[in-house]
Structure 1
Amino acid sequence: MNSPAEVAKNYLSIGKGKSNTPIPNMFLLAFMAGAFIAFGGISSTTAAVSIPLASVAKLVGAMIFPGGLAMVLIAGSELFTGNNLIIIPVLNKDTTAGKCLMNWLVVWLGNLVGGVAVAGLCVASGQVSLFNGALATSVISTAVGKCSLSFGQAFLRGIGCNFLVCIAVWMSFAAKDVVGKIAAIYLPITIFVLCGFEHSVANMYYISAGLFCKANETFAAAATEAGVDMTNLTVGNFFGANLLPVTLGNIVGGAIFVGCIYWFCYIKGKNVHAE
């Protein structure tokens, strides 16, 4: 197992490498990560939807979702929230702020395309019609809830989420084998989902899937019959009321509360640099 100081030192090279990845590769790897997280999202909802006790359903879904991040880390891809840690080599002058921001932009967009693509696949294939359409109603209800948060709520939940996600990524770098990496991410990711914190990349799937279901007359009618008010579920709220504040919160939670603190504690003044 790598110590926290060793993880910090190793991430200097990892983050520098991420910031220097050619943009086409960066985008394609980000597409993969968006898809991986989306598959984690739909499997989580599918597992939880038919459980009547809400707290148990939430726990079951939270226990399934980490599979998405496991695919991101083990299969190889680029995830915006995890890449907020690139602030570490930036602070250490091993890469530039411009390269970091470019990575965040390209990866965010690639994650968006991957998440929306899987959402479209799930709705077009009829996967969300499982359990007599109850899954589609749940998908719509989840999206409505995310689009109904205030800016402040979404921002703060974004901070809580990416604090835990980046801690999970950090812990995975402490492990030296696949089993250890999966075990390391499992509890922090389960905790963030169970608490209802907001993950920008997951929401790229969750809300777009809700929008696709809303556009389907059968799914929309079922949701209305179930008492779901879809007024707030719009493309404008997708980006303005959710993705914007959640993304900003994710940056604060990951880059500042994890990246900056660990750089200060383990790297600042140590005269270590990326290899």
Structure 2
Amino acid sequence: MADPAMANLAGLGAYTPAEAIELVSRAGVKKGNMRPDKIFVSAISAGCLLSFAAAASLRATTAPWFQENAPGLVSMVAGLIFPLGLVMIVLTGADLFTGSNMVRISAYTAVAAFHGRLSLRKMLLHWFLCFWGNLAGALFVMAIIIGYGGVFDGASYKARAIEFVTSKQVKPAFHQIFLRAVGCNWLVCLACYLGLQGKDLNSKIVAMWWPIFTFVSLGLDHVVANMFYVPLGLWLGTPHLTVGLYIWKGLIPAGLGNILGGALFCGVYYYWMFIFREPEINIDGVYYQGKMEEGTLPTQSSQESSSRRHLKDVTVDNSRVSSQELKREFHGLP
């Protein structure tokens, strides 16, 4: 018997949670099978776009009186601005490491791997290329556009950046950054997941905006955003901040925490809830047309995989296929 709540979502022109995680899996297959050079360049683009949003939120919250007397308001303003970064990344199809951990972002590829549609090797390669591509893009924007461009040369802007980076990187302990990173990517991947439920552009943007607003307002740690913030702090001469400190107490705990938060609390959870040992899910009447890959994570029995393959034999008239192809292409699906 169909869940009335799910039926209501379909009636409102949105994909159900089960359909959304199926979309995540299909997008992960496409992302994971991209050419390595394209993944890397796409990741550079994502690092650049997120850095622009990070710089904008930092500069817009340079208000000494409010920083001292109304820090919550400053956090709220930053939270309202920063989501623009993820929106630009998702709508342009760029590859963000923290999204790839669930699937599109790297979270997408994790779900595809658990689903048996993407090999573990391809998933890890996608994560690796996304991480270094994001770092390259963030460093480019930080140094060439922001640094040499003198965007934070003003005394107030420089002081704000140094204070922010000190509170973000120098003061917290290793375990605090790790735990903040878990919560951060839980929300980032949730934003991507909710965005996939929308069928029109406005719905996607609104759905993605608020989970990102939440993580920024809470001051949680995003490893790619910190690829801009912390090097900017080094550029501006933040006291007690070194490259070694950033690697040990920045990249490592934030990266590991982001992977855990995105892959486990979003990717694995929604996969287990809506895909594992459940009937095959169709998207607008179209079942998954790909094949299972060797070397995938052992999450299903071969009997289940075989029964799922039989469900793909669906007859659809040519006019319907054409319209569905357009929808699938919009979502970046194979």
The TM-score with structure 2 as length reference comes to 0.75
Change (3 A) 1:70 1:147: same
Partner of 1:163: 186
Q: CA deviation at 1:51?
A: 5.4
Partner of 1:23: 36
1:95 counterpart = 2:95: no
Counterpart among 257, 260, 263 of residue 268 in structure 2: 260
* Cα deviation code 1:133-163 (max 9, x no counterpart): 2112221222222222211001100000000
- Name the aligned partner's letter for residue 36 of structure 1: L
1:80 counterpart = 2:129: no
CA RMSD of aligned residues (A): 1.3
Partner of 1:270: 278
| 1:94-133 correspondence to structure 2 within 5 Å | 94-120=117-143, 121-129=145-153, 132-133=154-155
Q: CA deviation at 1:274?
A: 4.2
Partner of 1:65: 82
Is the Cα–Cα contact under 8 Å of residues 94 and 274 in structure 1 kept in the other structure? no
1:137 counterpart = 2:159: yes
- Name the aligned partner's letter for residue 197 of structure 2: A
Distance in 1, matches of 2:162 and 2:124, equals: 33
* Cα deviation code 1:206-237 (max 9, x no counterpart): 001111111xxxxx6xxxxxxxxx11x11111
Partner of 1:227: none
Partner of 1:14: 27
Is the Cα–Cα contact under 8 Å of residues 162 and 253 in structure 1 kept in the other structure? yes
| 1:188-267 correspondence to structure 2 within 5 Å | 188-214=211-237, 230-231=239-240, 233-267=241-275
Q: CA deviation at 1:48?
A: 0.6
Distance in 1, matches of 2:57 and 2:194, equals: 23
Partner of 1:226: none
Distance in 2, matches of 1:274 and 1:251, equals: 26
Change (3 A) 1:181 1:51: farther
Q: CA deviation at 1:89?
A: 1.2
- Name the aligned partner's letter for residue 248 of structure 2: G
1:41 counterpart = 2:79: no
- Name the aligned partner's letter for residue 78 of structure 1: D
* Cα deviation code 1:37-81 (max 9, x no counterpart): 111101001111125222211111111000101100112200011
Q: Secondary structure at the match of 2:101?
A: helix
Q: CA deviation at 1:270?
A: 2.3
- Name the aligned partner's letter for residue 200 of structure 1: V
Q: CA deviation at 1:176?
A: 1.3
Is the Cα–Cα contact under 8 Å of residues 16 and 89 in structure 1 kept in the other structure? yes
Ranked by relative contact order (alpha carbons within 8 Å, sequence separation 6 or more), the top structure is: 1
Change (3 A) 1:188 1:31: same
Q: Secondary structure at the match of 1:128?
A: coil
- Name the aligned partner's letter for residue 125 of structure 1: G
> Unaligned 5+ residue runs, structure 2?
1-13, 103-108, 281-286, 290-334
Structure with larger Rg: 2
- Name the aligned partner's letter for residue 48 of structure 2: A
Partner of 1:175: 198
Distance in 2, matches of 1:274 and 1:140, equals: 49
* Cα deviation code 1:156-207 (max 9, x no counterpart): 0000000000000000000112211110111100000000100000000000
Is the Cα–Cα contact under 8 Å of residues 51 and 57 in structure 1 kept in the other structure? no
> Unaligned 5+ residue runs, structure 1?
215-219, 221-229
The TM-score with structure 1 as length reference comes to 0.91
Distance in 1, matches of 2:89 and 2:155, equals: 30
Query: Percent of counterpart pairs with the same letter?
Result: 33
Q: CA deviation at 1:117?
A: 0.9
Distance in 2, matches of 1:257 and 1:127, equals: 37
1:185 counterpart = 2:208: yes
Q: If each structure's helix is expressed as a fraction of its own residues, which one has the higher value?
A: 1
Q: Secondary structure at the match of 1:176?
A: coil
